[in-house]
Amino acid sequence: MTADSAELAASPCVDRPLALARYDHLPDALLDVPAPELWRHLPGPTLVHLPGRHASTLFLSVLLHGNEDTGWRAVQSVLKRAGGRPLPRSILLFVGNLAAAKAGVRTLPSQHDYNRAWPGTAHPQTPEAAVMREVVAIAERTPLFASIDIHNNTANNPHYACVNSCDDHHLQLAGLFGRTVVYFEEPVGVQSAALSRLCPAVTVECGRPGVAAGVAHAVELIEAALSLQHFPDHAVIDADIDLMRTFAIVKVPADATFSYDGSDADFCFRSDLDHLNFAELEAGVSFGTHAGTRRLEIVTSQGGHAEYFDYSDGEIRLAQRAIPAMLTLDPNAVRLDCLGYLMHRIGRDGRRLAGTGG
Ligand SMILES: [Zn+2]
């Protein structure tokens, strides 16, 4: 995220020490430790190599955001279910932001977001970016089968997978999680973009934290990727998946106020904003009202000056068809990341599908 307030706060802090810890096993005791307590057992960001029968390795990352613990719970469940028997294939497990997990937040104010710090990041000089470079350098020396980065979000969203490449094996990996697949180029510095240069890679969004169904779905994906011999040879066709592409990130300017309950603010968003997520919306759908000349910030990978919202008559209306994602009612998520994303449907060739919503 290029103008992320957390990143701007963190970017000058280049002298904080941060070291990657490495282990060749995961003590059984950790299989019952919840994410907020992991800091008592691990010194910081940690990479664990768990050997399996097949050397082609599954890379897993969890807790890149400290308050998104579904990935850690899923890993605990997979390892418990294995019961000490050899894994079908080796795992390289990255356990990310333990300090933020301790505090129950996505990212601490002093930190660079752990999922904006991977190679390709806009802030390569931060301690977090140095750790991620080290992780990727180790991954480059490992025979990788696939990579899965597990997240939660704060809004009403279906479970879905995100990819940074539309090559068949990336989409087949995403298909192990479900039909809904989002292709994105922004924000930069994310885990799946860095790993997609090495192997098929996905980010999976497992709904809100603390929901058993999200953990079960992540477990299913990990176990499927562990036991898959190889990716199918046949090509993925448009009918196999619902493929969408993010074309804009919507942000509230850092100096603007906002509300969801109709109270006085620069932007008064509708209280059910997150129920628009993954709906195919026509131009004209209202997101709420705005004061005076305030405008939402739009970040796009294509640049350009297309009109995304129409601000006439004090309303904030979509100026073109779109499918929103991740629209959130959580003020912290808005401040640390964004209000949400706008997407449209694309085909396997990357072209926008004509005549469909968005
Ligand atoms: Zn996340």
Q: What is the whole-number distance in angstroms between the Cα of residue 63 and the centre of ligand 1?
A: 8
pTM score: 0.91
Is there a single domain that holds both residue 105 and residue 193? yes
Cβ within 8 Å of residue 352, ≥6 positions away: 245, 344, 345, 346
pLDDT tens by residue, 15-51: 678 999 999 999 889 999 999 999 999 999 999 999 9
**Overall domain count for the chain:** 2
Question: CA dist 273 to 34, 248, 260, 325, Å?
Answer: 32, 17, 8, 10
Question: Token digits for 165?
Answer: 């490449």
CATH of residue 218 = 3.40.630.10
- What is the rounded average pLDDT of the residues 65-77? 98
Is there a single domain that holds both residue 47 and residue 180? yes
Question: Token digits for 71?
Answer: 């990935």
Q: What is the whole-number distance in angstroms between the Cα of residue 120 and the centre of ligand 1?
A: 18
Boundary-marking domain end, from 185, 217, 236: 236
Is there a single domain that holds both residue 286 and residue 147? no
Is there a single domain that holds both residue 30 and residue 117? yes
Q: What is the whole-number distance in angstroms between the Cα of residue 151 and the centre of ligand 1?
A: 4
**Does the structure show a pLDDT above 60 at 5?**
no
Range of the domain at 325: 246-345
Is there a single domain that holds both residue 214 and residue 278? no
Rounded to an integer, what distance in angstroms lies between the CA atom of residue 114 and that of residue 204? 16
Is there a single domain that holds both residue 140 and residue 20? yes
Within a domain: residue 350?
no
pLDDT tens by residue, 250-263: 999 999 999 999 99
Cβ within 8 Å of residue 68, ≥6 positions away: 106, 150, 151, 152, 153, 209
- Per-residue confidence (pLDDT) for residue 111, from 0 to 100: 96
Rounded to an integer, what distance in angstroms lies between the CA atom of residue 314 and that of residue 309? 12
Q: What is the whole-number distance in angstroms between the Cα of residue 85 and the centre of ligand 1?
A: 31
Q: What is the whole-number distance in angstroms between the Cα of residue 302 and the centre of ligand 1?
A: 24
Among 29-43, 195-209, 288-302, where is mean pLDDT lowest?
288-302
Check: CB of residue 139 under 8 Å from CB of residue 132.
no
- Determine what percent of the chain is predicted with pLDDT higher than 90: 85
Q: What is the whole-number distance in angstroms between the Cα of residue 354 and the centre of ligand 1?
A: 31
Reference 168, options 211, 214, 200; nearest CA is 200
Q: What is the whole-number distance in angstroms between the Cα of residue 32 and the centre of ligand 1?
A: 22
